[in-house]
Structure 1
Amino acid sequence: MASTPALSYTALFVLQALNQGYKFGFDIMEVTGLPSGTIYPALRRLEALELVTSDWEKDLKARKEGRPRRRYYELTQTGKEQLREAEARFMAVGRLFPKRSTT
């Protein structure tokens, strides 16, 4: 496997938010305080690096709730490893965001 380039602070924030259970771009924007023009390009870059995967939610669920479909993001195993390495280097990264409630 080729080495992953150094991750930006934005990338680390996004990986940490995903690790804490935030799955949608809007949720990540809210918890990090970063704008959509920062979050979505970061998610695309992380997906290109195979640190994150994404999938669209079912159309039926979105229609039932009267909104557009959302894209779910999830850490890959490599993404989890990169995050662990970053947390080892920068201890505060692991405490940036509260764990997402699943209720």
Structure 2
Amino acid sequence: MSPRSIGFVTAAVLRAVADGHRYGADIVDATDVGSGSVYKVLRRLERRGHVTGRWEDPEVAEAERRPRRRYYELTPAGHRVMEEALERFRELGSAADRLAEGRG
């Protein structure tokens, strides 16, 4: 996946996982992106090898009386893609600032 093909939501999900938000609902809270979008992005990132996912032990969820969580971790490839995408967004932000100030 090219950093140019990564949208803002995907970059936000990657950043949240990198920052330690490991399961879907936590990522939703951290990004303020809807759950349907977050889970769709997570599945795509996992298929592309940018995150790995693992289900927690069912006994843990049962003891806490909640559904099982799937925990995600950034892979080295995912970290590289995230850093490149974030740099692209920083550059776009700088360009937008110059444009807004009339400096083209």
TM-score of the aligned structures, taking structure 1 as reference length:
0.80
Q: Secondary structure at the match of 2:49?
A: coil
After superposition, what is the alpha-carbon deviation per residue over 1:20-57, rounded to whole angstroms, capped at 9, x for unaligned? 11001001111111111111001111111111110000
How far apart are the structure 2 equivalents of 1:47 and 1:8?
Answer: 16
Amino acid corresponding to residue 70 of structure 1 in structure 2: R
Residue 90 of structure 1 deviates from its aligned partner by 2.3
RMSD of aligned Cα (Å):
1.4
Q: Is residue 52 of structure 1 aligned with residue 51 of structure 2?
A: yes
> What is the percent sequence identity of the aligned residues?
42
Task: Output one character per residue of 1:4-33: Cα deviation in whole Å (capped at 9) or x when no partner.
Answer: 241111110000000111001001111111
Under a length normalisation based on structure 2, what TM-score does the superposition of the two structures give? 0.80
Counterparts of 2:34 and 2:10 in 1: how far apart (Å)? Answer: 13
Kindly state the Cα deviation for residue 91 of structure 1 after the two structures are TM-superposed: 3.0
